[in-house]
Structure 1
Amino acid sequence: MAGGGNADFRSLEQTPTWAVAIVCLGFVLISILIEKAIHFLSRWLKKRQKKSLGKALEKIKEELMLLGFISLLLTVGQKPISEICISEGLGDSFLPCSKEEVSAESVSDKIEKLALLGHHRKLLFLASEIPLRRTLARDETEDGHCAKKGKVPLISQDGLHQLHIFIFVLAVFHVLSCIVIMTLGWAKMKKWKAWEEETKTLDYQYSTDVSRFRYTRETTFGRRHMSFWSKTPILTWIVCFLRQFVLSMSKVDYLTLRHGFILAHFAPHSNFDFQRYIKRSLRDDFSDVVSISPPLWFFAILFLLLKRNGWFTFFWLSFIPLIILLIVGTKLQVIITKMALDIQDTNPVVRGAPVVNPNDQLFWFKRPRLILHLIHFSLFQSAFQLAFFFWAWYEYGLESCFHKQIANIVVRVSLG
């Protein structure tokens, strides 16, 4: 090659100053634009008095700062970490892909590249080029720090670079998935606005008039939740499990929960907008789930540890978020049913609308926020699955050892 050396590995002393200046200018401008956009959005949320969304934005800024520190540490520690040596036996343990698969992929990549080049003597060139490539790779390894000791690096510099990219992709996918899920939640609650407006009509005022006495079982809420199946725990869980697929929140459940909340905190027949309160609560929860807490980072490390060849870890791990969400959805339906049964036990005859009594005793371990933590974990796990898939696709292609079977890919992506 003209000029000597490999042009793909030129140092800054061999790079034009205008190229360095242009690249630096691009990074600086992009960073300034992102910083100004976040600052403008923060001021806009503060002006609109969106405190919960402002808190969520602060959590996102904290994540960006954490990613910056991780990026800095990976960049600075790239060479020292790559010089940590381990034995070859230890380096060959818990491999995500077998050596035979990696070697086959390397040869197939070479054949594909030669086919695209249309070389007339591609087979002969391949036979001579592959040993040459192995010789060069072996020479580079033998000249390395660990090869001189008869060992292998803990993580190579290329591996650290790929890990760097994966951490960034994971954080981006987690934030985007939380935004999408919360947006869908707000869209779903729009139809509750019509139910909220209905509470201002004369028909609703008449149905909740305290001068009307009815048996609890004869109310719409009672007929929905008080039946033969509600007396057996197993049947209760089965019915509640199936209900979440049909209608996660029915109109009668919404109106009953609204009525009980208002009676507990305000005067009867108050004009309190319960739907707006639910939306505000969802924004508060969004500020919690949008962040990646330390336990979630440890779970991500555990998932990477379990990605061992032959274990199919990521396949069965992809079912965990779905199972968690189905259990949580069933539990919430069971809680509403238990509140209905409590009304019947304490007061068989109601005046106006049934009055539910939500309390911490109805939740697992008497901790309502455990439900939120489980949802947070399931969102992160789904984002992890999607991030790992697209990262592996970007780094190694769809035909790599990470994507051995099409059915596996379809299941993981669809569940995510």
Structure 2
Amino acid sequence: MAVSSETHERELDQTPTWAVAGVCAVIIIISIVLEKFLHKVGMWLTDRHKKALFDALEKVKAELMVLGFISLLLTFGQSYIARICIPQKVADTMLPCRADGVLDDSSSRRRLLWLERRYLAAASAAPSCKEGYEPLISVNGLHQLHILIFFLAVFHVIYSAVTMTLGRLKIRGWKHWEQETSSHDYEFSNDPSRFRLTHETSFVRAHTSFWTRLPVFFYIGCFFRQFFRSVSKSDYMTVRNGFIILHLAPGSKFNFQKYIKRSLEDDFKRVVGVSPVLWASFVVFLLLNVRGWQVLFWASVIPVIIILAVGTKLQAILTKMALEISERHAVVQGIPLVQGSDKYFWFGRPQLVLHLIHFALFQNAFQITYFLWIWYSFGLTSCFHANFKLAIVKAALG
């Protein structure tokens, strides 16, 4: 038949040497170029004393090494994994699509036939199971899983880098505020010897009102505030003044904006990697991605809830600082003095906020990766996207 002639494949001993050498040369060249590029980036960061970003780059290299080891295990072990047989009844449980494999879309049928022709030789080479049993995972399935893990690692790094870039752009907008602290107008308007009523200062006035003193409306107001003005000029100046008084001499010409930028780089070093907990969440979501459960949709909501909760909490911290100033002093001298403390954070652990952001970044990257992987491997209108509008919503949330 035509299909059998199309699926005939040459073994390596029957393949032209120029084809083998050419493919190996291209793969080796790409690998060397990538390694040299990462080395040059590391040297550039070292020359500019960007130690935190250099450590983040080392984490990216370590993640690529883990990815390469996973790829090696999948490639070397695929024939052994395909020999593991399980009862057919067990194989038909917790499926992401219908067990009969019926496809409604003609393009999906064509793609399925293409995949069947592509992996027919590999599947026929795999040892068959006895009647009533099926392989644990087919060779084709292992190849698709291989692509999914590769997509996830790459997109998580890209997603983290984009987030880092947006953060730096946000902080760059504070540069002119820092420059204002060296002007004569700033020294005059914020004269340390000048006394003012607490409720007349811009920081207290911006964060305190009638609703902030009511527990019912306190967090509601903080929730909506994060959408309009995450960090205002008065917030920056007040926090800067508190930091300098606490850690340096009053009136010091310390560049607080550069300090915040370095702190962002330190935080980026922590969120760029994939921890064992994040890999475990990846495995759990794959396990629960059963047809009809809509687990991945609810999983796409979790990062949104986390980010909104973190934003609300940070706004609540600023508001509580302003309330404490107004309750502690009726009159202040110069800029209001805020006193940062771990007590404002959940369970007294500021690091928990960073862990939550790390988890949200990974889950967002996973949602986008999963959508693109299904599009690449099975088609945009495959059975994984039985509810296509819901799939678009998941990707949009990411």
Question: Is TM more than 0.5 here?
Answer: yes
The secondary structure found in structure 2 opposite 1:147 is coil
Note closer, same or farther for the CA distance 1:361–1:379 as it changes in structure 2 (3 Å cut).
same
Structure 2 counterpart of 1:104, one-letter code: L
Matches of 2:334 and 2:218 in 1, distance apart? Answer: 26
Residue segments in structure 1 that go unaligned for 5+ positions in a row:
115-132
Note closer, same or farther for the CA distance 1:8–1:387 as it changes in structure 2 (3 Å cut).
farther
Q: Given that residues 84 and 146 in structure 1 are in contact (C-alpha distance below 8 angstroms), is that contact kept between their aligned partners in structure 2?
A: no
Residue segments in structure 2 that go unaligned for 5+ positions in a row:
none
Residue 310 of structure 1 pairs with residue 309 of structure 2: no
The secondary structure found in structure 2 opposite 1:148 is coil
Structure 2 counterpart of 1:34, one-letter code: L
Q: Could you report, residue by residue, the CA deviation over 1:95-122 in whole angstroms, capped at 9, with x for unpaired residues? A: 000124x2225876457999xxxxxxxx
Say which one has the larger Rg.
1
Stretch moving more, 353-362 or 35-44: 35-44
Matches of 1:209 and 1:8 in 2, distance apart? Answer: 85
Q: Given that residues 87 and 152 in structure 1 are in contact (C-alpha distance below 8 angstroms), is that contact kept between their aligned partners in structure 2?
A: yes
Q: Given that residues 108 and 379 in structure 2 are in contact (C-alpha distance below 8 angstroms), is that contact kept between their aligned partners in structure 1?
A: no
TM-score (norm 2): 0.93
Deviation at 1:226, TM superposition (A): 2.1
Q: Could you report, residue by residue, the CA deviation over 1:135-171 in whole angstroms, capped at 9, with x for unpaired residues? A: xx8xx77x96452253111111111111011000001
Aligned 1:168-317 pairs, distance under 5 A: 168-317=150-299
Note closer, same or farther for the CA distance 1:317–1:172 as it changes in structure 2 (3 Å cut).
same
Structure 2 counterpart of 1:9, one-letter code: E
The secondary structure found in structure 1 opposite 2:332 is strand
Aligned 1:325-404 pairs, distance under 5 A: 325-404=307-386
Matches of 1:323 and 1:207 in 2, distance apart? Answer: 40
Matching residue of 2:102: 103
Deviation at 1:335, TM superposition (A): 0.4
Structure 2 counterpart of 1:355, one-letter code: L
Matching residue of 2:89: 89
After TM superposition, the runs of 4+ consecutive aligned structure 1 residues lying more than 6 A away are 111-114
Q: Given that residues 112 and 378 in structure 2 are in contact (C-alpha distance below 8 angstroms), is that contact kept between their aligned partners in structure 1?
A: no
Note closer, same or farther for the CA distance 1:51–1:108 as it changes in structure 2 (3 Å cut).
closer
Note closer, same or farther for the CA distance 1:227–1:247 as it changes in structure 2 (3 Å cut).
same
Indicate the percent of aligned positions where both proteins have the same amino acid. 53
Q: Indicate the RMSD between aligned Cα atoms, in angstroms.
A: 2.3
Q: Could you report, residue by residue, the CA deviation over 1:56-87 in whole angstroms, capped at 9, with x for unpaired residues? A: 10000000110011011111111111111111
Matches of 2:112 and 2:365 in 1, distance apart? Answer: 33
Note closer, same or farther for the CA distance 1:32–1:326 as it changes in structure 2 (3 Å cut).
same
Matches of 2:366 and 2:193 in 1, distance apart? Answer: 55
Matches of 1:113 and 1:317 in 2, distance apart? Answer: 28
Structure 2 counterpart of 1:22, one-letter code: G
Deviation at 1:405, TM superposition (A): 2.6
The number of residues matched between the two structures is 392
Residue 46 of structure 1 pairs with residue 28 of structure 2: no
Matches of 1:22 and 1:387 in 2, distance apart? Answer: 31
Q: Could you report, residue by residue, the CA deviation over 1:202-226 in whole angstroms, capped at 9, with x for unpaired residues? A: 2221232221112211211111122
Matching residue of 1:17: 17
Matches of 2:294 and 2:67 in 1, distance apart? Answer: 29
Q: Given that residues 300 and 364 in structure 2 are in contact (C-alpha distance below 8 angstroms), is that contact kept between their aligned partners in structure 1?
A: yes
Q: Given that residues 87 and 134 in structure 2 are in contact (C-alpha distance below 8 angstroms), is that contact kept between their aligned partners in structure 1?
A: yes
Deviation at 1:258, TM superposition (A): 0.6
Note closer, same or farther for the CA distance 1:344–1:9 as it changes in structure 2 (3 Å cut).
same
Matches of 1:89 and 1:113 in 2, distance apart? Answer: 23
Structure 2 counterpart of 1:61, one-letter code: K
Structure 1 counterpart of 2:40, one-letter code: F
Matches of 2:219 and 2:141 in 1, distance apart? Answer: 47
Q: Given that residues 386 and 413 in structure 1 are in contact (C-alpha distance below 8 angstroms), is that contact kept between their aligned partners in structure 2?
A: yes
Matches of 2:349 and 2:50 in 1, distance apart? Answer: 27
Structure 1 counterpart of 2:318, one-letter code: I
Aligned 1:58-97 pairs, distance under 5 A: 58-97=58-97
Note closer, same or farther for the CA distance 1:151–1:204 as it changes in structure 2 (3 Å cut).
same
Matches of 1:22 and 1:409 in 2, distance apart? Answer: 40
Note closer, same or farther for the CA distance 1:289–1:263 as it changes in structure 2 (3 Å cut).
same
The secondary structure found in structure 1 opposite 2:293 is coil
Note closer, same or farther for the CA distance 1:299–1:171 as it changes in structure 2 (3 Å cut).
same
Q: Given that residues 214 and 352 in structure 1 are in contact (C-alpha distance below 8 angstroms), is that contact kept between their aligned partners in structure 2?
A: yes
Note closer, same or farther for the CA distance 1:264–1:82 as it changes in structure 2 (3 Å cut).
same
Q: Given that residues 207 and 353 in structure 1 are in contact (C-alpha distance below 8 angstroms), is that contact kept between their aligned partners in structure 2?
A: no
Deviation at 1:8, TM superposition (A): 4.8
Matches of 1:113 and 1:176 in 2, distance apart? Answer: 30
The secondary structure found in structure 2 opposite 1:354 is coil
The secondary structure found in structure 1 opposite 2:191 is coil
Note closer, same or farther for the CA distance 1:226–1:112 as it changes in structure 2 (3 Å cut).
closer
Structure 2 counterpart of 1:42, one-letter code: G
Q: Could you report, residue by residue, the CA deviation over 1:380-402 in whole angstroms, capped at 9, with x for unpaired residues? A: 00000000000000000011011
